[in-house]
Amino acid sequence: MLTIGEPVPDFALLNQDGNTVRLSDYRGKKLVVFAYPKASTPGCTTQACGFRDNFPKIDAGNAAVLGISPDEPKDQLKWKKAENLPYDLVCDTDHAVLESWGAWGEKKNYGKTYVGVIRSHWVIDENGVLIDQKLDISPNDSVAKAVAALNVG
């Protein structure tokens, strides 16, 4: 679990193109990292497209967006192209980052209990320090609250 006001540990994960992306690659910019259960599903598409639609404002405010899920690169790439997402999607296939960030756990859906990604987002400042964290949040609230936490106008 991450703590607001503390540095976020670096990670290295493959993106949709099979290239390594590190959290530290974003130093010097604010960053929203959003966790979603599965590419190309309705709630995840709502969340991802909300960040896409706000991306011009985010980008103009010296900030960036990064999506994270346990999907494979090929699935991330297909979804990124289909929805015209202007940011990277990284693949935490063993869900190690999601677990350490508190976004992997027990969920309930249609009366069934299972373990998976808990929809969440984190906002990290230019120095790699966590400034906002929302775990178990709806797709629309995630976008609105993360953009507000960026304070990018």
Number of Cβ atoms within 10 Å of the Cβ of 45: 19
Report DSSP state, residue 118.
-
| Residues recognised as catalytic | 44
**Is residue 39 within 8 Å of residue 16, measured between CB atoms?**
no
**Is residue 104 within 8 Å of residue 82, measured between CB atoms?**
no
Name the E strands within the chain: 12-15, 20-22, 30-35, 63-69, 88-91, 104-109, 112-117, 120-124, 130-135
Pairing of strands 20-22, 104-109: unpaired
Please give the C-alpha separations between residue 24 and each of 12, 13, 150, in angstroms, as whole numbers: 9, 12, 18
